[in-house]
Amino acid sequence: MKYTAKDIEVLEGLDAVRKRPGMYIGQTDTPFQLLKEIVDNSLDEAINGFARKIAVELDASFEVISIEDDGRGIPVDIHEGQKKPAVEVIFTVLHSGGKFREGVYVTAGGLHGVGASVVNALSEFLQVEVFRDDKLYKIEFSRGKTISPLKSYPGIKSKTGTKVTFKPDKSIFKTAKFNPSEIEELLKVKSFVYHGVKFEFLNKSSGQMLVFESHSGLKSLVEGWVSQSGLSIVGNDIIHIRHNADIKTEVAIAWTDSEFEAFRSFANGIETKAGGSHLDALKAGIVKAVRAVQNHFPQYKSLKFTAEDIREGICGAVSVFIPSRYNFSFQGQTKDRLSCLECEQEVNKICSGIEEFLNVNRNFTVKVLERIEVAYRSRLSSKAATASIRKKIYASQKFSLPAKLADCVSRDTSKNELFIVEGDSAGGTAKQARNREFQAVLSLRGKIMNTVVSQSSKIFDNREIIDLIAAIGTSVGETFCIDKLRYGKIIVLTDADIDGMHISTLLLGFFAKWMTPLLEHGKIFLGRPPLYRVSLKASKGGGEKVFWCHSEEEKEKIVNDNSSVSVTRFKGLGEMNPEQLWETSMNPKTRTLVHVCLINYHEVLRKVQDILGRDTRFRLDLISSYLEVAELDR
């Protein structure tokens, strides 16, 4: 095939956004990022003192949403270069807006000038209403194109602001509906970061109006977060510091009885889920402050606390508002991580206030040091337990493989695969189906124990856990060594039902807590065996056509579209013959694997604790949020 200039496609205007939406908004499962883009634009008016209220309204279908602010109103006069009203330029031209010119916005979350135009490009319909100059201006778009030019009408005297109403394009998103709970959480969190700004949310489906407004800032955020988590605050106090310098900085931290540290970070009002300079500085500052005051308490002076010991159980938050003139950047359009040297320096300064607080409130500090000592002793105990594991797995430095492991022939770790299955029946079928050259099979007996809440001593006395660790070869915890990994891929292959999903969850919980580097190095995968085999009866002289379905919905679609079908439901992997299991789940050319990766270590551990921890409220909330779209028992 010839490759010539005719094959080069030039995407005009916003076509590039529609062609590759993931480059601009990350995932396209839901339109939630579109809402955040418009809300953040309104909040840029609030950061700079021009808006005091943001109102969000969701229609009864959950598909049409509007965001209104009481800011200055987007300019409507003609843009000299584009020969169009400025509001039209902002919503139809990438990299346009008032964030580039110095003095228009002192501080802003949107740096690239693409948010409004991207939302427009990915919306079936979008309308902008601007209130300014005692007039109302309206303009309408569809999929990035102007369909109704700017028009003016008599307005409400002295009213200013902007209202954007849009309907996400169903051809772009897997679901074009908004989740009211997500909107509620977003506005609630924003109210903690933007002190004194009022947020209103009207859900027209329920008729409920919610109002969020906070003057206590991140202290209220941490307080609510801890309360919602069912945790107890050590010393019944939250360290809360604000510093209104050139870079406005705020931190709030509380030690709790949780096993994990959990932080949230914000830059110019936008949550930076992957952290960055400001969060790194806060974590380091907490450790420095504790070590400084530790020396003033003789009973703790000799204890060698690690940074992890000190931060265990902390629920904390940091927020910075950075003037546009500073040299800072976000990673990606969704702004997940901040890079800013000046922010790091400013947070370092504010962390001296943590040390001062600990020095002044000595009774509180004693309780914090007691809490840190618990983490310290627990770590030493865990280290001893993992050392014990090494002795159990390595006898006289000679590696001992479990009896239930059917190992592969190859010793090329990069190509080898370990399939973890449940039960002897599934294990027997998988062992027959596999390619013995590079595929190993380890069958476990039933559901493994919940290692997230169990004591170390019980975990490492469990035969199934010992076999799993021995097969993988790396040991666990602080003695983990990635160089001793025996397989390039570790594939959890369980039945395609609720019990199978539960077993997968327990195994992922174990890997997340005790063998974290496997996730960090991308070694963990989930297999996707089918739930149904659907065969179409062939016409005379033809062959049988077979479909493998992973869900009830997939099966129903095929059954409804064809008149003569035969359906087989697999209750487990053991019911499949080796050829079927190979074709659907083990053959690298035909199988489907879900790659499980670790992006944010502490956020993942917190979620694992929510799902597998002792407090059942989080699981109840999670299940409740999916009740209307999920069938819990197939």
Hey, which residues are catalytic here? 422, 495, 497, 499
Backbone dihedral angles phi then psi of residue 222, each to the nearest 5 degrees: -65, -40
Q: How many angstroms separate the CA atoms of 23 and 189, rounded? A: 26
Q: How many angstroms separate the CA atoms of 45 and 329, rounded? A: 20
* DSSP, res 5: G
Residue found by looking up tokens 């031209």 in the block: 93
Burial of 109 (0-12, 13-18, 19+ CB in 10 A): buried
* DSSP, res 301: H
Q: Where does 56-179 have alpha helices with state H?
A: 86-92, 115-121
* Helix, strand and coil in the chain, % to nearest 5: 40, 25, 40
Q: How many angstroms separate the CA atoms of 269 and 108, rounded? A: 9
180-193 and 218-228 helices, crossing angle to 10°: 140
Find the helix or strand (DSSP H, E) in which 360 lies: helix 341-360
Residues 63 and 176 sit within 8 Å (Cβ to Cβ): yes
Is the Cα dihedral 11, 13, 17, 23 positive or negative? positive
Phi-psi region at 276: left, alpha or beta (left = phi > 0; alpha = psi -120 to 50): left
Q: How many angstroms separate the CA atoms of 575 and 76, rounded? A: 67
Q: Two tokens at 379? A: 């770590």
Q: Which residues contact 254 (CB under 8 A, 6 or more apart)?
A: 222, 223, 226, 233, 234, 237, 238, 239, 314, 315, 316
Residue 404: closest CA among 422, 383, 390: 422
| b/e code 469-497 from CB counts within 10 Å (16+ = b) | bbbbbbbbbeebeeeebbbbbbbbbbbbb
Q: Two tokens at 437? A: 């050259």
Three-state secondary-structure class, residue 323 = strand
Query: How many CB atoms are located within 10 Å of the residue 106 CB?
Result: 15
Residue 531: closest CA among 499, 509, 562: 499
Name residue 199's beta-bridge partners.
Answer: 54, 212
